[in-house]
Structure 1
Amino acid sequence: MLGFQPYETFQLLIETGGVDRTNTLLIAACDAYARRGKPTVPEMEQFETLAARLFPTAGPQARAKGAAILGRAEVLSPALEQLVVDNIGEDLIPFLETAAELSDQTMLDIIARYDVPACATLAARANLSNVVLAKLFQMNSRKVYRALAANTAITPRGAYLSALARSAQMDHLVAEALGRRKDFDAALLAPAFFDLSDSHRIKVIQAFSNRETPVAPIARTIEQLSVASAELTKALMKLFSENRRPEVTRLLAQITGLDEVRCGQIAHDATGAALFVILRAFGATAYDGLKVLIHATSHDTERSKALADYATLFGTVSSESMAYLMSAWRGEVNLLELSKPQYQPFTQPSRRTAAATTAAPAQNPVVEQAIEALARIGARRAS
């Protein structure tokens, strides 16, 4: 087999040659098998028998070296995979990353050991079976969930969707990984809103565009204050224009029921994403809302595009959906209800629409009107 002498000869060499000769035989046999390409079934079975004798008898360094060489073979049976995993030592992670195929049994054995780095490596592999995925999702490990969240070969649905959404609430890196995915409903990241990057916060809000939502628990409170929506936007614009953000914090705490720490984050959020949610939830129009956002935000070179995005969102995102988002911040709703058919977006965004929006961000008439109105206010104050 593979140019070697018959198995009986190897058996004799192993038994009479000592550890040094066994080490040499192991490395030579593993190298020959790795160079063989795709072996026949009899050759693989014969090598399994030989390797099962050599590995236990060889020294630790030879076992690790032989396993590393064997791990580069084109085809490994489950028994040979197990020998590699058991003996490869520090090279286990590279082996799990580069192995073309791994049997379910090998992966389940690794998961059973609760070797977190190795399991995280498995979680990043493509073509994982449902049996293996189920075991990985049962692990209480942030590293594993981060790998699962970033693995685009895994379709987030059913129990996997629920598990990823819950993990995103506890780990901002999971939330960020899910925010980068196009196949994940960004609305489910609402509880992690304040841990997300600026662009992903906008994605969460955009996920509520043209979408029905369940009735928010905070809706009744908002109804009582909605009659004063104009007064609210005027008060916020005045406070932001005078940079009185601590007073903004107290005002938001009074009307939203959020704690002051969270309201302080909203008041000092230079992107305006969280403030947009508050304004729209309380019924602010694009015209009035943008005047507040212009004073509250600082976008520098991206200012016009950001304001144009908000102007569009005022038209596509309903007050009810932003009230629902606020209730998610307060932990009052089960966001997984949004996966039901009746709460899916009415229209799916197209590449053409997205391209048109980004092509001319500064041409939005609502933005221009809000800026002109503020300019007139400034001119009257100056005179």
Structure 2
Amino acid sequence: MLGFQPYETFQLLIESGGVDRTNTLLIAACDAYARRGRPTNPEMEQFEALASRLFPIAGPQAKAKGAAILGRAETLSPTLEALVVANIGEDMGEFLQRSDEISEATLIEIIARGDVAAASMIAHRPDLSNVVLAKLFQMNSRKVYRALAANGAIAPRGAYLSALARSAQMDHIVAESLAERDDFDCALLAPAFFDLSDDHRIKVIKAFTNRQTPVAPIKKTIELLSVANQELTKALMKLFSENRRPEVTKLLSQISGLDEVRCGQIAHDVTGASLFVVLRAFGCSAYDGLKVLIHATSHDQERSRALADFATLFGNVTPESMAYLMSAWRGEVNLLDLAKPEYKAFTQTSRRTPMLAPAHNPVVEQAIEALARIGAKRAG
């Protein structure tokens, strides 16, 4: 069989030898099968019979070693897969990573064991069926959800989208992985806003570009306060220019309807992303808003580019959408409503009139330079 001694010879060796000989036969047979390449059906049937006889009577170490070797074979039948999974032990992860094809039944059996490490390896695979995915999403494991969030082969739609969005609220690593993806609606990461990296916070805001949103509960609070934009921006600019961030926290707490802890995060966010959300929610224009952001942010070399991005965002996101984002921070909205057709982002590109990148927009750059020169004087 398989280019070496015939099946009958193995049978005689098993019957006449002890456990030691069985261990040697098992490892030799698995190695021969793994080296064979793609076997014929008769060869596979013969090896199934042989392996099914050898594995139960071999020693623990030989079982694990034989299963690890067998797991590297090009083709495994369901019977052989079951033998590998039952005996491979600590090498399960390598088997799940290296094997190009593993049957649905075998994957489901592994998941059913509740082995989080093995399930997370499965969650990284690009060939998962809906049945296997459903089993994985049912597991209450951060490690599994982190793998699912990073798996670009899994389309975030329907129940999968809901599960990933909920997981992102509880696990910043899941949130970061989803923010890296181009096929995930970053607006759904609003509750995890303050756990995200600087670039990903901007990505969340950009997800509200040219987008209608449901009415935000916090909008009524903003309207009742009726703070004059010029007074608000003047007060914030003065406080930020003097680095009086604790007082900024108190002011934001008084006017925004957010709790003091959240306002403290906004006041100390040197990226300016969360402050932009508040300013735009109150209807501030790019000119007035940038006067505040210039003093609130600390970007060094990337300062102009970041402020240019904010200048563009002032024109592309509505006060209503930023009020909705603030309501998401308070847990007052069901973000999955944004998946409805009427609330999906509207994007339209034109080859004839390509958009000018914000960082290279001379008008924006001139405005930022002018604001930088006069901001400190006006703050005084």
TM-score, normalised via structure 1 length: 0.95
Name the residue aligned to 1:266. Answer: 266
Q: 1:107 to 1:377 in 2, by over 3 A?
A: closer
CA contact (8 A) 1:241 1:295 kept: yes
Could you tell me how far apart the structure 2 residues matched to 1:150 and 1:125 are? 10
Cα RMSD (Å): 2.0
Could you tell me how far apart the structure 1 residues matched to 2:331 and 2:298 are? 29
Name the residue aligned to 1:369. Answer: 367
Q: Which has the larger displacement, 243-252 or 10-19?
A: 10-19
- Give 1:183-332 correspondences, 5 Å limit: 183-332=183-332
1:376 shift after superposition: 3.4
Cα deviation digits, residues 161-183 of structure 1 (max 9, x gap): 00000000000000000000000
Cα deviation digits, residues 275-332 of structure 1 (max 9, x gap): 0000000000000000000000010000000000000000000000000000000000
Could you tell me how far apart the structure 1 residues matched to 2:46 and 2:110 are? 26
TM-score, normalised via structure 2 length: 0.95
SS at match of 2:357: helix
Q: 1:365 to 1:13 in 2, by over 3 A?
A: same
Is residue 7 of structure 1 aligned with residue 10 of structure 2? no
Could you tell me how far apart the structure 2 residues matched to 1:173 and 1:210 are? 28
How much identity, in percent, do the aligned residues show? 75
1:4 shift after superposition: 4.5
1:9 shift after superposition: 3.6
1:371 shift after superposition: 3.9
Cα deviation digits, residues 53-94 of structure 1 (max 9, x gap): 101111111111111111111100111111111111211101
1:5 shift after superposition: 4.3
Unpaired runs of at least 5, structure 1: none
CA contact (8 A) 2:137 2:160 kept: yes
Unpaired runs of at least 5, structure 2: none
Cα deviation digits, residues 104-132 of structure 1 (max 9, x gap): 11101110001101100000001100000
Q: 1:222 to 1:134 in 2, by over 3 A?
A: same
- Give 1:102-181 correspondences, 5 Å limit: 102-181=102-181
Cα deviation digits, residues 111-161 of structure 1 (max 9, x gap): 000110110000000110000000000000000000000000000000000
1:15 shift after superposition: 2.5
CA contact (8 A) 2:169 2:189 kept: yes
1:256 shift after superposition: 1.6
Could you tell me how far apart the structure 1 residues matched to 2:272 and 2:95 are? 46
Q: Which runs of 4+ in 1 moved over 3 A?
A: 3-9, 348-356, 376-382
CA contact (8 A) 1:198 1:271 kept: yes
CA contact (8 A) 1:26 1:51 kept: yes
SS at match of 2:333: coil
CA contact (8 A) 1:190 1:329 kept: yes
Q: 1:134 to 1:34 in 2, by over 3 A?
A: same
1:231 shift after superposition: 1.1
Counterpart of 2:366 in structure 1: which amino acid? E
Name the residue aligned to 1:58. Answer: 58
- What is the number of equivalent residue pairs in this alignment? 380
Q: 1:56 to 1:40 in 2, by over 3 A?
A: same
1:350 shift after superposition: 8.2
Could you tell me how far apart the structure 2 residues matched to 1:97 and 1:155 are? 21
Could you tell me how far apart the structure 2 residues matched to 1:143 and 1:349 are? 38
Name the residue aligned to 1:21. Answer: 21
CA contact (8 A) 1:33 1:70 kept: yes
